[in-house]
Structure 1
Amino acid sequence: MKKSLLTLSGLLLTTTALAGCGATNNNAGSSTNAGNEGSKEPVTIKVQAWYTEAQGNWNATVDAYNKTHPNVKVVYEGMSEKGDSQEGMKKMDLLAASGDQMDVVMYSSASDFAQRVGAGILEPLDDYLKKDNIVVKDEYKIDPIVNGKYYALPGKMIEWFVMLNKDKLDEAKLPVPTEWTWNDYAEYAKKMTKGEGASKTYGSYFHNWKDYSLLALNNDMENPYLVKSDGSANIDNPKVRYSLDLRNKMENVDKTSVPYFEVVSQKMNYRDVFYAGKTAMLATGNWMVGELSLNGKFNTVFAPYPKYDAKDTNGLTEIGADFMGIAASSKHKQEAYDFVKWYTTEGITTQGLFFSGWKKADINQNVDAILKSGKPENVKFIDKESLLSTLKVNKATKLVVPPTYALQQEKEYMNQVELYLVGKQDLDKTIQTATTKIEEIKKSNK
C-alpha cells in the first residue's frame, strides 16, 4: 500500500494505520485464520454497515445464513444509531485505522466506494469470482468495476421513482402519472401546493443531496453523473442547466417546492417531510418501499422518474447500489466472500426490505417479500399496482464508478449550487465556477 496520506471522511489516515493491509496477500479460497484449522468452533465474521436493525432486518438475515452454514457465525454490527450512511462510513473508516476486526463492509454510493478502493481498504475479488466462474456483468444488473478489477458486488439495487400522496393527488383531481416530463412534474407541484406559512403544504420536495441538483442528468443513459469516468466535469450542458433552473423556479419563484435554505437550516429529513404530509411528491429511491411498509400513514402511489424530453425513454432512471466487499485486513476472506456472494444473490430477498441487483431475482417475488416483511397497518397504504407498473417500466442508466477523488468534486459542485439556490450568484457563474473547481481537483489528483 502506498505510503501516503489519504483523507477519508475528514479523517487523515496513513497506510500504516490501516492495520494489516499491506501484509495480507492471500490466495482466493484460503482463510488466514490458522488457529481455526482442525477446530470445530465456527469462524466468526462481522458484517459492518450503517443500517439500524429496523432499517435492515439484519439479525434475521444473518441467522438465515448461519443456519445453512454451521462452520460460520456471521454477526451484524450497525455503525449508526440513526441509520445515517455518512456517520456509519466514518465509523468504519475509524475501524480500518484502528485495526479492529473487519470482514464484510458496505458503502452506500459509487463515489464513497471508489474512495475506499483508493485508500486500499477493500480486497480485490477477481480471484474468488474466477474460481466460481462468475462474470459480474452477466450475473448482476450493474457492473461495479474499478480500474479493471472488482472490489465489491452490488447489494440492494437502487432505482429512482416518484412517490405521490394519493389523497392530495385526488384532491387536485390529477391522474397517477405513468409517463411524464419534469415540466409535467412542475405543473403537478403547482396544483398540489396549498396554504401559507407554517400550515403550507408543498407539491414537491428536493433534498440537499447532489442527485436533486442533477435532475435531468440522472436519466442520461451515457453520462448520468457530474463528472465523467476520467474525472472531467460533466455539468456545462443543457440538462444540468435545465435541472438547476427548474429547481430554482420551483423553490424561489413559483414556491411549489420546499426552499433549499429551509431544507438545510432546519436539517430536514426527507422521510419525515413526506410522512408528515408536508409534500405531495417525493422523487426518491426504491429503498423507500421497505420503509413505507413499516411507516406508511396514507395512501401512496408511484410514478416513473420524470423525463427531460417527452421523446426520451420512459422510466429511464439513475442507478445505484450498496457496494458490499471484503475488508483487506480480514483474516477470514473466503468466509467473508461466501457471505457476500450469498447476500447479493439469494440473501436480499430473504432480508425482505430491498430490491435485488441480481439478474435472476424475480421482481414480483421481491415486492411480495418486502410487503410481507412490513406491518399490515402500514402495508395497506402502498398501492401495489402502480408500484409494480413503475418498477417494470424502469430502465437503468449506466453505472458510473467515478475516480477516487469524486467526493471532493461533489462537495465543490454543491457549494456552488447552494450559492445559486439562495440567490448569491447566477446560473452562469455557478456552472463556470463549479467546472473550474472540478477540473482543478482532477488536475491535483493526477
Structure 2
Amino acid sequence: MKKSLLIVLTAASLAGCSSNSGSAPAASGGAAATAGSKEPITIKVQGWYTEAQGNWNKTVEAYNKTHPNVKVVYEGMSEKGDSQEGMKKLDLLAASGEQMDVVMYSSPADFAQRVGAGILEPLDDYLKKDGVVVKDEYKVDQSVNGKNYSLPGKTAQWFVMLNKDKLDEAKLPVPTDWTWNDYAEYAKKLTKGEGANKTYGSYFHNWKEYGLLALMNDKDNPYLATPDGTPNINNDKVKFSLDLRNKMENVDKTSVPYFDVVSQKMAYRDVFYAGKTAMLATGDWMIGELVLNGKFKTAFAPYPKYDAKDENGYTSAGSDFIGVAASSKHKQEAYDFVRWYTTEGIMTQGLFMSGWKKADINANIEAILKAGKPEVTALIDKDSLLATEKVNKAAKMIVPPTYALQQEKAYLDQVELFLTGKQDLNKTITTATTKMEDIKKSGK
C-alpha cells in the first residue's frame, strides 16, 4: 500500500476510536438530539455514485417524506462515478473529522481495510434490537470475523451481456446453460473484420475477476484467497482461466488483447456500447446503465460454467457495503436509513438488483426498466434477462483480511506478465503464490 493511504487510514482509525465506536443503540447521539430539538437531524449519505448513476435525490426524498425527524442528503464523492476516487475522498473525510454518517464501499478488500482502520461502526447491537438475522434477510454475508459492519446495498451477480444483432447475424441462439469452452466457441463465430474495423467476440477487463474466470462460479470460494489470506490460485480452475484468456487473446485473437486494454485505458462500457465486442462478462449493475445508455438490442446469458456437470447459475456476488461511520453523532438514525435502503429503498431507487432476499425479482427488474426511456428500454431482451436473473445464485462472499488489496496486486502483476508473453503459466502461479504467502506473513 502507498504510504499516503496508510497515513490516512491510521488517522481515520484514531478518529474512529475516539468516537466510542461500538456503542450500543441506546447510546446513539441521534436520540438525544431528536429529544432536544425540533429541527430534523441531518444525515449525510456519502458514496461514489453520480446522480445519473444512482438516482439518489429521488431515493432520499422518499425516505425523508416518511421520516420527518431526519433530513437525509446524498453527497457524491466522485464526479465521474468512480468508486476508487470516491473511496479516497471518504478516507480524507475520515482523517479530517468531517461529518460522516452513512458510507459506502464497493469491494470486500477495500471494505475490510476500512473496518481494520476503525472507520465503521459495528451494527450487531442495532440488528439484534430489530430482530434481524443477516443470513436470513440478505443474499450475501458481509461480516468480518463474525461481526457485521455493513449491510448489502445492490447485489451484483455476474452474467454475460450479448449484442443481439451480432448474435442473430451469426445465427447463434442466446445461451441458457453453457461452459467457458462454449463461450470461447461463440467468440470465434462472433469475431469479424481486421484492424481498426475489427469486432471481437469477447472482452476481458484488467480487474482481478477476469483473472479468475472459472473460479468465479465456485460456490464455496470464488476469490483468490481464503478468508484467512491463504492463496487460492494454485488450482485447476485458475490455471484454466489464465490459459483460456491467453488462448483467446493471443492465439485465436477472438478477445481484445490485454496489452490494448491497458495501454489504451479502455473502459469496458464504452467497448460494448461502441459494438467493438459482441460479448461482455460483467455484473448485473449494468442493467440500470443499459436502460439509460443502451445503443442496440442486448440479450443476457448466465455466467459460463467451468464444467458442464456444474450447477447452472452460480456466480461470484459482489455488493455495495453500506455502513455507519464510527464517527457519526447520529448512529441510530444512520442505521435506520441503512436498514431501509437495503430493503425497500433499492426498489424506490429503481436502478439496481437488490441484495434483500424478500425482494421480488420481477418487480425489481420492472422498477429498473421504468427508469429508462421507452425507446431505450425496448432494446433490453427482457425474456433472457428475467431467465438469467432467476437462475443466478450467489456464491459465498469472501471478506478477506485487511492486506487483501496487496495480494490482489501481487497476483495481477504476475497475470500481466503471463498475458503479455513474458513468463509461462507455471511460473505465474508459483511466483504469485509465493508473493501472496509473504504478504500474509507480514500482514499478521
Residue matched to 2:17: 22
Return closer, same or farther for 1:129/1:387 CA change in 2, 3 Å cut-off.
same
Q: Tell me, in whole angstroms, the C-alpha distance in 2 between the residues paired with 1:353 and 1:128.
A: 27
Q: Tell me, in whole angstroms, the C-alpha distance in 1 between the residues paired with 2:48 and 2:14.
A: 22
Residue 110 (structure 1) shift: 1.1
Look up the equivalent residue of 1:272 and give its one-letter code.
D
* Matches for 1:318-337 after TM superposition, within 5 Å: 318-337=316-335
Residue 111 (structure 1) shift: 1.1
* Matches for 1:74-223 after TM superposition, within 5 Å: 74-223=72-221
Residue matched to 2:281: 283
Residue matched to 1:241: 239
Look up the equivalent residue of 1:243 and give its one-letter code.
S
Residue matched to 1:32: 29
Residue 376 (structure 1) shift: 1.3
Q: Tell me, in whole angstroms, the C-alpha distance in 2 between the residues paired with 1:377 and 1:8.
A: 49
Q: Tell me, in whole angstroms, the C-alpha distance in 2 between the residues paired with 1:14 and 1:372.
A: 40
RMSD of aligned residue pairs (Cα, Å): 1.3
Counterpart among 357, 360, 365 of residue 359 in structure 1:
357
Residue matched to 1:296: 294
Q: Tell me, in whole angstroms, the C-alpha distance in 1 between the residues paired with 2:393 and 2:34.
A: 46
Instruction: Tell me if structure 1 keeps the 8 A contact 2:9–2:117.
Output: no
* Matches for 1:392-407 after TM superposition, within 5 Å: 392-407=390-405
Q: Tell me, in whole angstroms, the C-alpha distance in 2 between the residues paired with 1:86 and 1:212.
A: 18
Q: Tell me, in whole angstroms, the C-alpha distance in 1 between the residues paired with 2:253 and 2:4.
A: 35
Instruction: Tell me if structure 2 keeps the 8 A contact 1:19–1:96.
Output: no
Q: Deviations over 1:279-328 (max 9, x none)?
A: 00000000000000000110000000000000001111111100000000
Instruction: Tell me if structure 2 keeps the 8 A contact 1:18–1:99.
Output: no
Residue matched to 1:3: none
Residue 12 (structure 1) shift: 2.1
Alignment size in residue pairs:
441
Return closer, same or farther for 1:416/1:220 CA change in 2, 3 Å cut-off.
same
Return closer, same or farther for 1:7/1:339 CA change in 2, 3 Å cut-off.
farther
Structure with bigger helix share is: 2
> TM-score by structure 2 length?
0.97
Q: Tell me, in whole angstroms, the C-alpha distance in 1 between the residues paired with 2:170 and 2:3.
A: 47
Q: Tell me, in whole angstroms, the C-alpha distance in 2 between the residues paired with 1:285 and 1:10.
A: 28
Q: Deviations over 1:406-432 (max 9, x none)?
A: 111001100000011111111111000
Q: Tell me, in whole angstroms, the C-alpha distance in 1 between the residues paired with 2:3 and 2:103.
A: 15
Q: Tell me, in whole angstroms, the C-alpha distance in 2 between the residues paired with 1:287 and 1:347.
A: 16
SS at 1:371 equivalent: helix
Q: Tell me, in whole angstroms, the C-alpha distance in 2 between the residues paired with 1:425 and 1:10.
A: 31
Instruction: Tell me if structure 2 keeps the 8 A contact 1:52–1:82.
Output: yes
Q: Tell me, in whole angstroms, the C-alpha distance in 2 between the residues paired with 1:440 and 1:18.
A: 25
SS at 1:80 equivalent: coil
Residue 198 (structure 1) shift: 0.6
| Residue 427 of structure 2 is aligned to residue 432 of structure 1 | no
Instruction: Tell me if structure 2 keeps the 8 A contact 1:19–1:99.
Output: no
Q: Tell me, in whole angstroms, the C-alpha distance in 2 between the residues paired with 1:144 and 1:372.
A: 30
SS at 1:150 equivalent: coil
SS at 1:231 equivalent: coil
SS at 2:176 equivalent: coil
Look up the equivalent residue of 2:76 and give its one-letter code.
G
Q: Deviations over 1:73-128 (max 9, x none)?
A: 00101111111111111111111111111000011011111111111110000110
Mean Cα displacement is larger for which, 111-120 or 10-19?
10-19
SS at 1:22 equivalent: helix
Instruction: Tell me if structure 2 keeps the 8 A contact 1:299–1:382.
Output: yes
Q: Tell me, in whole angstroms, the C-alpha distance in 1 between the residues paired with 2:75 and 2:376.
A: 27
Q: Tell me, in whole angstroms, the C-alpha distance in 2 between the residues paired with 1:41 and 1:159.
A: 41
SS at 1:13 equivalent: helix
Long gaps (5+) in structure 1: 1-5
Identical amino acids, percent of aligned pairs: 77
Q: Deviations over 1:148-175 (max 9, x none)?
A: 1100000001100000000000111111
Return closer, same or farther for 1:341/1:196 CA change in 2, 3 Å cut-off.
same
Instruction: Tell me if structure 1 keeps the 8 A contact 2:28–2:332.
Output: yes
Instruction: Tell me if structure 2 keeps the 8 A contact 1:121–1:328.
Output: yes
Counterpart among 2, 7, 11 of residue 12 in structure 1:
7
Counterpart among 39, 42, 48 of residue 41 in structure 1:
39
> TM-score by structure 1 length?
0.97
Counterpart among 248, 269, 272 of residue 271 in structure 1:
269
Q: Tell me, in whole angstroms, the C-alpha distance in 2 between the residues paired with 1:179 and 1:266.
A: 33
Q: Tell me, in whole angstroms, the C-alpha distance in 2 between the residues paired with 1:230 and 1:300.
A: 40
Residue 18 (structure 1) shift: 4.7
Q: Tell me, in whole angstroms, the C-alpha distance in 2 between the residues paired with 1:166 and 1:17.
A: 48
SS at 1:88 equivalent: helix
Q: Tell me, in whole angstroms, the C-alpha distance in 1 between the residues paired with 2:283 and 2:252.
A: 26
